[in-house]
Structure 1
Amino acid sequence: MGVPHLRRHLEPYAQKGVIEPCNVVIDGPALAYHILALCLRSTQKSSPSEQPSYDVLGCTTVAWLDEIQASGLTVSAIYFDGFLPQSKYHERQQRVLRNSQDLSKYHQAYLNGVPKERPHATTEPPQVLFPQSLGVDKTKSKAPDPPFFVPAIIEYLKNHAVYSSLTAVVPGEADGFCAEYVRLNGGAVITSDSDLLVSALGPRGSAIFLGDIEKCAESKGLVAPQYCGPDICQRLSIEHGDGLCRLAFELTMEPTLSMPEIIRNTKMGIAAADFPEDYSLFLAKYSTPELGSSLKPGYEIHLDPRVSEIALRCLPGPKNKDRSSKNDQTEPESDDNDLQMYLPLLLDSPSRTSAWEASKSVRQLAYALLQSVKAAPIPIVSEVKRLQSVSLGAPLEIPRLSSIDKHGTALLAMVSKIRHAVGKSELVWVVLSMLQDVVLTKDHGKTSTPLSVQLLRLDAARKLDEGSWEFLHFLAQVQATCYSLRILQQILNFTKHHTHELSSVTSEVSQCLSALPPLGRFPSVRDFAETLARIRDMGGLSCLATICADDEELLPYLRKPAPSPQAVKPAKISKKSKRKATSQSGSARPRSSNPFDLLDNE
C-alpha cells in the first residue's frame, strides 16, 4: 500500500531543475501505466472503441524513451515484475475487487450498450509526451484498461533494436531491482512509486517521478524534482544511513503527524524503539530485491509477468512467506504451496459467466505441464479473475501429468480440423473459441443459442450491434482463448528450458502454437465485427458442425433458427424432448467440461 503521504512531505526538499546527464533505470510497470494515461488524454474514457491499440501504446513507449535519451540521459535498464511476494496478497486482492466493482458500475451505467467511437476521434500516438499535467479524470464510469497492455508493451520493446537488450522481466519486483541497480551503479530511478524514496539508493542514487518530468523551454533537456536520499537527510538534519527509513516508519505508524513532528520523532527514534519487530520487517522490505526462486537476478525470463509468477513458484527456492503485521486478519489465508493465477480483467458482461470460463481447459493443460518442473502433483490452481468479495479465487482442477499427451493430442486434432476448414489464418483461434462457447453453453445446461452463433446470425442479417454487451462478451471470450493459448505456449517453453525435454506430442503442440498472433494483433473492439464477417463468409458454422458431428448433444446448438434482433429468449423444449430426456436420464453418461474430450470417439 506504500507509505502514506511520503512524497508530499518530502517534495519541498527535492532538488528542482534540469536533470543532468546520467544513467537512468526505469520501473517498467509504472512506465506502462504512465504511457496508457498519456494515450488516454484525448479519448472518451467511457468508450472502449477509443482506447489506444497495443501498437499505439508500444510506439508511444519507444517515442518517450527516445526523448529521454535525446535529452542526455542514458537508459540503462527497464525492469518489469516477474514475481510478487505473498505479502502483497491483501493489496492485490483489494485491487482486483476494486476493478471488478468498477466494471460492474460501468455495466450498470451502459446496460443497453457502451458508447461507440466518435467520428473524429484520433487513434494516433499523442504528440505531447511530457505534458505539464495529465489532468484529473472526472469520468464516473470508465471502460476497464486494455487487458494485456503491460505484456504488449514488453513485447513491443523486446522486438525493438535498441530497447530489446535493456528490457527484462525479473524474478522479483521491478522497484527492488531498480533500487539495487542504482545503489550499485549510481544514477536515477524513474518511477511513480514513492516507496522507492525509502529504499537505499546509495550516495549517487536518486528517484524521479514520471508525472513530474517536463520539457525545458530553453534547452532540449528535461526538468523534474530529483529526490536524493543523502541530500534530503542533510536538509532535514537527520542521519544519512537509515534516516529516511526511520522517517517513513514514523509516518507509517502515525500518518496524521505534521512534518515538524515527524522530523522530531525521527531524530528521537520513537517509533523504531516502540515497535522494534515491526521496524525490522519494514527495513527488510526495502533492503534487497525479493526473489521468487533460486534464479539469479541476471536471469532472463521470456514470460509475461503473470505467467512468470506462477511458473517461478514451481521452481525450488525462497518463496517469500512473510506477511505484513498490518494486514487485515479477516482476509482468507492461503497455504504457501498453493498456486494462484491472477488473470487480467476483461471487458466482459458481469451478468454472464466470466469470459475466462470457456477456455479453462487450455489453461488446465498449461498448469499440468508445471508439474514436471515442480516435480510434484499440482491438484488445484486458484484463478483470480472477477471478484465479488475477497477470496482465494476459483479452484481449477489440474489433470495428472500422465494425461498431458492425451489432452495435447485432442487439441492438435481439433486445431487441425479447424485449419482444414479455414486455412492457416489467425481465424483458427477465433473458431476454436466459438467451439468452446458451444461446449460451455451445453455444459451449463442452457437451451438458448450459443452467444457466438447468435452473433454470426445477427451479422448475416446485418443486425450486429458492436456496442452491445453480447458482442463485447464474446470478444472477451475470444481474447481469453488467445491469451490462454499464449499461456500454454510460454509454459511449454519454460518447461522445456528447465526439464530439457518435451514429449513428441507436447513438442508438436508447441510448434502448432508458434502460429499464435502477437498481442498487437489480438482481436479488438475496432476489428472484431470484420473478423466475425470473415468467419461467416468462410463457413464458420459448417466448420463447427463438422467438428461436432459425433456429438449429438452439440449439433442442435448449431441448427437453431436465426434469432430476432431483440434479446434472444431461451428456446422452448417440446414435451416429446422432455419425455426423451427423462427416459434417458438414468443411463446418460457424465458430460465432460473439457472440449478436448469431444474428439475421444474419433
Structure 2
Amino acid sequence: MGIPGFLSKVQPYATSLQFEITNDDKPKQLIIDGPALAHFIFSQEILASGATNTFASTLTYHAIGEATVDWLSKLEAYNGQVKAIYFDGGLPISKRKERLDRLTSSLNRLISFKAKQNIHTRAWALGTFPPLPFLVPAVIEALLLSKYQNMVSLVDGEADDHCATLAHSTGGIVITSDSDLIIHDIGDGTVVFLNDLGVHMPTDESGAMFSVPCFIPRGITRELGVTAMTQVAFQFTLDSHKSLRQCASAALSQDSVGDDIDRFAQPYLHNCHETSFSRTFMTRHLTENIMVDPRVSEYLLHAGVFSSDRLAFSEINSLQSDCRIYMPVLLDDPDKHSPWDSGRYFRQLGYAIARLNGTPGGTREFSRIGHQIGGTYIDSLSQPEIIEHCQTFIENATHIAHLFPGHKQNDRWRLMCMRYVCITRISRGRRLPSKRNMVDLFRGATHGIDWEYIQTSAEYQAVLYSLRILFQCLAVHNSMPSDDQVTEKCKTTIRDLVHRMQPPLKLAEFLAHSEQSEDDSMWERAVTVLLNDLASISPPTKNSQKARKGTKQGKRKRGI
C-alpha cells in the first residue's frame, strides 16, 4: 500500500505524539483504517503465538476478534477515543489489477509454504505466512458484537478515502498502515502508523504514557514550501532517488502542473464522502440495518443492487452484466483442486437472488485454479430455477435435521457443509475425505494433521463461507422494496429459505470446537451416519462427466 519508498523519504519529517493515561476531558479522536487494523492484529498475534508448527500458527477468528477489541480498548485507555472504524465496501474497477496481484501474492506464499516447509517444523518467517482468508470480515463481525459496534462503517468505496475525509473535517488522528494517507488532503489531521504503535505502546498497563512518531501533512507542506503533498509525491514517482526537499523544489520550478499531475492528484483530493456512522451505506436502501462482508458488498454494488450508489466512481456508472467477485486464497493444498469447487451451488443461488434487484447476468469468480488465479463463469438462474434451487436446499436441510435429530443447530450446519464437500467430490469422481480427518476437523484438531486434512478443511470452509454469501444475499434481498418483476411464488420460496437459514454460523465459529466436542464419540457416530447416507449416491459415469463439462455451469442434482 502506498508509493514504494515514499514513506522512508517522509520519515525525517515525523514529529512525536504522546499518549498518556489522564482524566483529560478532551481525548484524542481516533479514526481507524479497518482493513489495516485487521492485518496488523493478525501479525501481532502470530508473533506472540509461540506456535510449534506452521499450521497451528494459524489463529482462530475468535482469537483475532478478541485481540482486536482488546487492542482498541488499550489504546483508548491512553486518552484516546475511537471516532470511526472504516472498512472497504467496494473497490473501483481501476483496482482490478491490484486485486488480482494481491490474490496472486497470497497464492505464491501458499505455494512456497508447502514447497519449503514441513508441516511439523516450527513457525517460519511472518512475511511469508499465508494470511487468514476471512480475516477482515471476521474482525468486522467481532467489532459489531463489541462496544465499538456503532463506530463501524462499511463504506461505498475505499476506507482510506473516508478516513481522510473525516480527518479533514475533525482534525483527528488516522491510525493506518497506508502511507497514502500522508498524501491525502486531511486538513489539520495527523497520521500514525500501526507498526509504530506496535513498537511503542506498552504491552501491559505498567506505563502511564508513551510516544509514537506521527505525520502532519499540512505541517510538512509548510516546511517544504508547497501547497499539497500531492505535488511532492508526484515528483517522487518521476524520480525516487530525490529527497523530499528536492521533490518540492522540482514541483515549485514547474511553470504548469499539467494533466499528469492532475490525474495523479485526483484520488487524494478532499471530497464529500459520507461521514455518518451508520453501520453500512446500504441503510439508505434497506428496511433493516444489515451488515454484509466487504466482498459481498462490492458484488452488490457492481451488480447495480443499490443503483444510486454504484461506488461513486465514474467508471462504475456503466453497469456490468458480467459481475466479478474475488474469492480469497484458502489455506489448502495448492497441488490439489480448488476448494471453491465446493459450495458453488450455494453461491450461484445467492448471486441469482441478489441480482433480482439489480442487473441480470452471470458472475465471474476469481480464485485459485491450479497454481494461478483465474476466472470461472457462473451462469445466473431464472426465477423458476431459483425456486427449484431453494426447494432443493430446504429439502436437504430437512434431511440433515432428520439424520441428526439430537444435534444442535450449529453442529447440523457443520454436518451439512461436510456432506456438500463429500457430494462435490463424488460428483467429480474424487476420493472422499477419510473418516478420521472428518472427525478431527469437527473436533478442531491441531495435532497429527497432514495435507489431506488441510485440503478437507479448506473445502469445508469454502462451503461454510458459501452459505454465508447465500445468507447475506438473501438478507439484503428480503430487506429491499418489493420488485414487481419477481413472481409471488419466487418471493414466497425465498422467504421460506430465509426462515430456514436462521441462524448461520459466525466466522468466529469456523473451525471452532463444537458445542458438544467434549463427547468425541458423538462425532464418530455422526460421521458414520453421514458416510452411510452418502453411500446411496452414485459417482458420475464418464458420459455424464463429459456432458457436465460441456456446459458452463452444470446442475448437480445428486443430493445437492
- TM-score for both structures, normalised by structure 1: 0.77
Provide Cα deviations, 1:116-162, integer angstroms capped at 9, x if missing partner: 789xxxxxxxxxxxxxxxxxx846863x22222211111111011x2
1:16 Cα deviation after fit: 1.4
**Consecutive unaligned residues in structure 2, runs of 5 or more:** 21-26, 275-279, 484-489
Does 1:91 pair with 2:76? no
1:261 Cα deviation after fit: 2.2
Whether the aligned pair in 1 keeps the contact of 2:15 and 2:213 (CA below 8 Å) is yes
Who is 1:5 aligned against?
5
Who is 2:238 aligned against?
253
* Superposition RMSD in Å: 3.6
Whether the aligned pair in 2 keeps the contact of 1:411 and 1:596 (CA below 8 Å) is no
1:176 and 1:80 map into 2 onto residues whose CA distance is 10
Does 1:354 pair with 2:338? yes
1:389 Cα deviation after fit: 7.3
1:157-172 alignment runs, 5 A limit: 157-160=143-146, 162-172=147-157
| Change in CA separation of 1:190 and 1:457 when aligned onto 2, cut-off 3 Å | closer
1:11 and 1:248 map into 2 onto residues whose CA distance is 14
Whether the aligned pair in 1 keeps the contact of 2:78 and 2:209 (CA below 8 Å) is yes
Provide Cα deviations, 1:379-434, integer angstroms capped at 9, x if missing partner: x2111122567765222222223311110110111111111111342232333233
| Change in CA separation of 1:335 and 1:490 when aligned onto 2, cut-off 3 Å | closer
Provide Cα deviations, 1:50-76, integer angstroms capped at 9, x if missing partner: 332222212211111112211112111
Does 1:415 pair with 2:394? no
Whether the aligned pair in 2 keeps the contact of 1:433 and 1:477 (CA below 8 Å) is no
1:246 and 1:353 map into 2 onto residues whose CA distance is 48
* Aligned partner (choices 527, 531, 537) of residue 524 of structure 2: 537
Who is 2:16 aligned against?
16
Does 1:115 pair with 2:113? no
Letter in 2 for 1:201: I
Does 1:489 pair with 2:471? yes
1:280 and 1:298 map into 2 onto residues whose CA distance is 34
| Change in CA separation of 1:226 and 1:190 when aligned onto 2, cut-off 3 Å | same
1:31 Cα deviation after fit: 0.7
Who is 2:277 aligned against?
none
Does 1:153 pair with 2:153? no
Who is 1:377 aligned against?
360
Does 1:225 pair with 2:208? no
Does 1:205 pair with 2:189? yes
* Aligned partner (choices 26, 29, 34) of residue 28 of structure 1: 34
SS of equivalent to 1:507: helix
1:322 Cα deviation after fit: 6.7
Who is 1:54 aligned against?
61
Letter in 2 for 1:281: R
1:517 and 1:458 map into 2 onto residues whose CA distance is 19
Who is 1:78 aligned against?
85
**Consecutive unaligned residues in structure 1, runs of 5 or more:** 119-136, 324-333, 555-580
SS of equivalent to 1:516: coil
Whether the aligned pair in 2 keeps the contact of 1:49 and 1:117 (CA below 8 Å) is no
Letter in 2 for 1:181: L
1:541 Cα deviation after fit: 4.0
- TM-score for both structures, normalised by structure 2: 0.83
| Change in CA separation of 1:19 and 1:72 when aligned onto 2, cut-off 3 Å | same
2:231 and 2:446 map into 1 onto residues whose CA distance is 61
Who is 1:406 aligned against?
388
Whether the aligned pair in 1 keeps the contact of 2:106 and 2:131 (CA below 8 Å) is no
1:475 Cα deviation after fit: 1.1
Provide Cα deviations, 1:422-470, integer angstroms capped at 9, x if missing partner: 1342232333233323332333244xx31255745999xxx99842111
| Change in CA separation of 1:464 and 1:250 when aligned onto 2, cut-off 3 Å | closer
1:545 and 1:15 map into 2 onto residues whose CA distance is 67
1:103 Cα deviation after fit: 0.8
| Change in CA separation of 1:257 and 1:301 when aligned onto 2, cut-off 3 Å | farther
Who is 2:262 aligned against?
280
1:79 Cα deviation after fit: 0.7
Whether the aligned pair in 1 keeps the contact of 2:104 and 2:373 (CA below 8 Å) is no
* Aligned partner (choices 504, 511, 517) of residue 523 of structure 1: 511
SS of equivalent to 2:56: helix
Does 1:309 pair with 2:298? yes
| Change in CA separation of 1:297 and 1:264 when aligned onto 2, cut-off 3 Å | farther
Whether the aligned pair in 2 keeps the contact of 1:58 and 1:153 (CA below 8 Å) is yes
Provide Cα deviations, 1:521-563, integer angstroms capped at 9, x if missing partner: 1115x889969955653343434544664x5448xxxxxxxxx
Whether the aligned pair in 2 keeps the contact of 1:86 and 1:322 (CA below 8 Å) is no
Letter in 2 for 1:377: P
Letter in 2 for 1:175: D
* Aligned partner (choices 33, 38, 43) of residue 44 of structure 2: 38
Who is 2:376 aligned against?
394
Does 1:343 pair with 2:341? no
1:167 and 1:464 map into 2 onto residues whose CA distance is 33
SS of equivalent to 1:231: helix
2:532 and 2:221 map into 1 onto residues whose CA distance is 72
Provide Cα deviations, 1:559-578, integer angstroms capped at 9, x if missing partner: xxxxxxxxxxxxxxxxxxxx
| Change in CA separation of 1:496 and 1:116 when aligned onto 2, cut-off 3 Å | farther
1:2 Cα deviation after fit: 2.4
| Change in CA separation of 1:219 and 1:100 when aligned onto 2, cut-off 3 Å | closer
Letter in 1 for 2:524: D
| Change in CA separation of 1:516 and 1:531 when aligned onto 2, cut-off 3 Å | farther
1:438 and 1:215 map into 2 onto residues whose CA distance is 48
Whether the aligned pair in 2 keeps the contact of 1:206 and 1:228 (CA below 8 Å) is yes
Letter in 2 for 1:542: V
Higher helix share: 2
Letter in 2 for 1:102: R
1:362 Cα deviation after fit: 0.7
| Change in CA separation of 1:358 and 1:52 when aligned onto 2, cut-off 3 Å | closer
| Change in CA separation of 1:348 and 1:391 when aligned onto 2, cut-off 3 Å | closer
Which structure's CA Rg is the greater one? 1
More deviation, 297-306/221-230:
297-306
Whether the aligned pair in 1 keeps the contact of 2:52 and 2:121 (CA below 8 Å) is no
Who is 1:565 aligned against?
none
Who is 2:500 aligned against?
512
| Change in CA separation of 1:458 and 1:100 when aligned onto 2, cut-off 3 Å | closer
| Change in CA separation of 1:455 and 1:58 when aligned onto 2, cut-off 3 Å | closer
| Change in CA separation of 1:595 and 1:530 when aligned onto 2, cut-off 3 Å | farther
1:371 and 1:547 map into 2 onto residues whose CA distance is 33
Whether the aligned pair in 2 keeps the contact of 1:81 and 1:171 (CA below 8 Å) is yes
Who is 1:121 aligned against?
none
SS of equivalent to 1:189: strand
| Change in CA separation of 1:476 and 1:527 when aligned onto 2, cut-off 3 Å | farther
Letter in 2 for 1:479: Q
1:487 and 1:187 map into 2 onto residues whose CA distance is 35
1:314 Cα deviation after fit: 2.0
1:297 Cα deviation after fit: 9.0
Who is 1:176 aligned against?
161
1:66 and 1:208 map into 2 onto residues whose CA distance is 17
